[in-house]
RNA sequence: GUGAGCGUAGCUCAAUUGGUUAGAGCACUGGACUGUGGCUCCAGGGGUUGAGGGUUCAAUUCCCUUCGCUCACCCCA
C-alpha cells in the first residue's frame, strides 16, 4: 500500500455531517441579500498580485506576509485572494457596472486564502460571505448594510449571541491630525507599554489601540479618542448612522478603539463579536471604503461592505441538523426482482422522492437490518413469489405492518407516501 | 514567523519500572436465524503505534529530527 496523501495544512474537508449547516447559512444569506436588492457576482479566486497590494495596502500584514503568491508559466505574479472586496471592485470597474443606478448592490460567497498558522476558527482556506454597496455616500447606506448583516444573523438564530461594535475612524481630512496626537500621547507614555506596542506606535499607531495585553490597557483607556477628533463631516456622518440604527432598533456598542486591518477603510467601521470562539472573536467585519474604487483605477465612487466568516458562523451553530434520510429501501431478492425495481426507483427519484435500492444479493434479514439502520420509514420487498404474482410488499418499519400492492401501482404508492412525509 | 501541549484501528480510548503476537467499545461485513429488522451471542476485515533516526537483549513507552493536530501570540472572517 502506498502512503496516503493528506490534506494540506490549514485546509479542511467539510464533511456530510456538517454540510447541512453550511447550506443553511448560505441559503439564509442569499435570501436576505436578494431581499434587499443585492445581486450575486462571482469573481475569480486569483488575481494579479498588484490588485491586492494596492487595494489592501502594501504595509498591511496581509499583504506583507499572508498572501499565497506564485508566478504562472508566463512569469506573471498572481495571488489567491485573501479577501473579496478588491476583486469585486475590480470587476465593477472593468465591466462598467458603475453606469447602473447607484448604489450598486453586490454579494459574493466563496473561499479566501491566507498563509497563517491555523488555530481555532482560523484557516488557510476559509470561506466568506461578502456584501458590497458601491456608489453612495449617504449614511443611510451604512445603516442599510449593517441592517442586512444583522438580519442575516437573526435568520440563522445567532443575533442574540453577538454584539455589534461600531466606530468611525475618520477620513483623510481628520485622521492624520488624530494620528499625530495619538503618536505624541503614546510616546509620552511609552514606558508603560509593551515592547510591541512601542514599536507599533511608530509604524502603525492606530493598531496599538487594539492591543490585548492587560498591561497596556490603562494607557490605552486614557488615550485620545478618534471620536473626539473627527472633522465635522465625519462626525455628522457617524451621528446619522447611529440615528438610523436606533430608528431600526438595532443595538450596537460604540467602540472607539475598533481598528481594522485594511488600509482602505474610512469613517464607519464595524465588527460582529462573539465570546465563544477563543481568540477569534470577530464573526464578521466591515466598513466604508470611499476612495478605494478610484485607487483601483475606477471612478471616484464611495462604497461600504462587510465580510462574514462562514467557518466561524458554522462553529457557533449547533449541529442538531438532522438531514432527512431516504423514504424507503427497495429490497429485491434476486436479479429478476432487481430488474423489475430499477425502473421504479428511477421513476420515483425523477419525481423527487429519495429511495435506496438493494442489489438483490443479500439475505432479506440483512437488508431489513440495513433498512433499520438507514432509519427509513418504509421497506419494499419484492421476492420471487411477489414477482410471480406481480406484487410488492410495503413494510412500515416502526410497526412492522405490511400490505400488498400490485407492482404496477408501486410507483404511485411510493409517491403518495413521499407526499405524506 | 514565535511558544506550549498532543499524535495508538474509521471514531472514543487501553497497554504495568521499557518486556512476548498492540487490545476494548462503537462502527463495518458475515453467521447463529433458506424470505422478515431493532435484542443477544459468535466470527471476520481493518494498525508500518504520524514519519525517520538513535539508545537498548527488547521501544507505543526513553532521546533527537521532522510532519501533522490543538491552543495561544501575531493577525483577522
Query: Could you state, in order of their start, the residue ranges of all structural domains in chain A?
Result: 19-174+230-316, 328-414
Sheet of strand A104-113: strand arrangement: A39-40, A104-113, A125-134, A303-309, A282-288, A266-273, A163-168, A253-254
Note the pLDDT tens digit of each residue in A332-345: 999 999 999 999 99
* Alpha-carbon span A49 to A391, nearest angstrom: 67
Q: Which CATH architecture has domain A19-174+230-316?
A: 2-Layer Sandwich (3.30)
Closest CA to A68 of A7, A122, A125: A125
Task: Return all residues near A48 (Cβ < 8 A) that are at least 6 apart.
Answer: A76, A77, A78, A79
Q: Out of 1.10.287.810, 3.40.50.12780, 3.40.50.150, 3.40.50.800, which CATH number does the structure's domain A328-414 have? A: 3.40.50.800
Q: How far is the CA of A280 from the C1' of B75 (A)?
A: 10
| Residue A98, CA distances (Å) to A26, A93, A105 in order | 27, 7, 11
- First-to-final CA distance of chain A: 46
Q: State residue A258's pLDDT score.
A: 87
The answer to whether the complex's ipTM is over 0.90 is no
pLDDT band at A184 (very low <50, low <70, confident <90, very high): confident
CA of A354 to C1' of B76 (A): 42
Give me the CA A379–C1' B33 separation in Å, rounded.
20
Nucleotide nearest to A127 (CA to C1'): B77
A166 CA, B74 C1': Å apart: 24
Round to whole Å and give the CA distance between A30 and A28: 6
Contact A112, A83 (CB under 8 A): yes
Instruction: Tell me the pLDDT tens digit for each residue of A303-356.
Output: 999 999 999 999 888 655 556 789 999 999 999 999 999 999 999 999 999 999
Helix or strand (DSSP H, E) at A340: helix A335-350
| Band (A257; pLDDT cuts 50, 70, 90) | confident
- DSSP for A43-77, written as a single string: --SEEEHHHHHHHH-TTSHHHHHS-EEEE-TTS-E
Q: CA dihedral defined by A72, A74, A77, A78, rounded to 10 degrees?
A: -50
Q: Nucleotides on strand B with an atom closer than 7 A to protein CB?
A: 1-3, 27-31, 33-38, 47-48, 67-77
Amino acid at each position: 500500500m502506498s502512503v496516503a496523501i493528506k490534506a494540506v495544512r490549514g485546509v479542511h474537508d467539510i464533511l456530510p455531517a456538517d454540510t447541512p449547516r453550511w447550506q443553511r447559512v448560505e441559503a439564509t444569506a442569499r435570501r436576505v441579500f436578494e431581499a434587499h436588492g443585492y445581486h450575486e457576482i462571482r469573481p475569480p479566486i486569483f488575481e494579479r498580485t498588484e490588485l491586492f497590494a494596492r487595494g489592501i495596502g502594501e504595509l498591511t500584514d496581509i499583504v506583507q506576509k499572508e498572501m499565497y503568491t506564485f508566478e504562472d508559466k508566463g512569469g506573471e505574479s498572481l495571488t489567491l485572494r485573501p479577501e473579496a472586496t478588491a476583486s469585486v471592485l475590480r470587476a465593477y470597474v472593468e465591466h462598467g457596472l458603475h453606469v447602473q443606478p447607484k448604489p450598486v448592490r453586490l454579494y459574493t460567497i466563496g473561499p479566501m486564502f491566507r498563509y497563517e498558522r491555523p488555530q481555532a476558527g482560523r484557516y488557510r482556506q476559509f470561506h466568506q460571505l461578502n456584501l458590497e454597496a458601491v456608489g453612495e455616500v449617504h449614511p443611510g447606506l451604512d445603516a442599510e448594510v449593517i441592517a442586512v448583516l444583522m438580519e442575516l444573523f437573526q435568520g440563522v438564530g445567532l443575533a442574540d449571541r453577538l454584539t455589534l461594535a461600531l466606530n468611525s475612524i475618520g477620513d483623510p481630512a481628520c485622521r492624520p491630525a488624530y494620528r499625530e496626537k495619538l503618536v505624541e500621547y503614546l510616546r509620552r507614555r511609552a514606558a508603560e507599554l509593551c515592547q510591541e506596542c512601542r514599536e507599533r506606535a511608530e509604524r502603525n499607531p492606530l493598531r496599538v489601540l487594539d492591543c490585548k495585553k492587560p498591561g497596556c490597557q490603562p494607557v490605552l483607556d486614557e488615550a485620545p479618542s478618534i471620536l473626539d477628533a473627527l472633522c465635522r463631516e465625519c462626525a455628522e456622518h457617524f451621528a446619522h448612522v447611529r440615528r438610523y440604527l436606533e430608528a431600526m432598533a438595532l443595538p450596537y456598542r460604540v467602540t472607539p478603539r475598533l481598528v481594522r486591518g485594511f488600509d482602505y477603510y474610512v469613517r464607519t467601521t464595524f465588527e460582529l463579536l462573539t465570546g465563544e470562539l477563543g481568540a477569534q472573536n470577530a464573526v464578521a467585519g466591515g466598513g466604508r471604503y470611499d476612495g478605494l474604487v478610484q485607487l483601483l483605477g475606477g471612478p471616484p465612487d464611495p462604497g461600504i461592505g462587510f465580510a462574514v466568516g462562514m467557518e466561524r458562523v458554522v462553529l457557533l451553530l449547533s449541529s442538531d441538523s438532522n438531514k432527512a434520510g431516504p423514504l424507503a429501501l427497495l429490497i429485491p431478492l434476486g436479479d429478476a426482482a432487481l430488474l423489475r425495481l430499477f425502473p421504479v426507483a428511477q421513476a420515483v427519484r425523477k419525481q423527487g422522492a429519495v429511495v435506496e435500492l438493494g442489489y438483490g444479493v443479500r439475505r432479506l434479514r440483512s437488508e431489513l437490518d440495513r433498512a433499520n439502520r438507514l432509519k427509513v420509514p418504509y421497506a419494499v420487498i419484492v421476492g420471487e413469489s411477489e414477482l410471480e404474482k406481480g406484487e410488492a410488499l410495503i413494510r412500515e418499519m416502526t410497526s412492522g405492518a405490511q400490505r400488498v400492492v400490485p407492482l404496477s401501482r408501486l410507483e404511485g404508492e411510493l409517491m403518495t407516501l413521499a407526499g405524506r412525509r
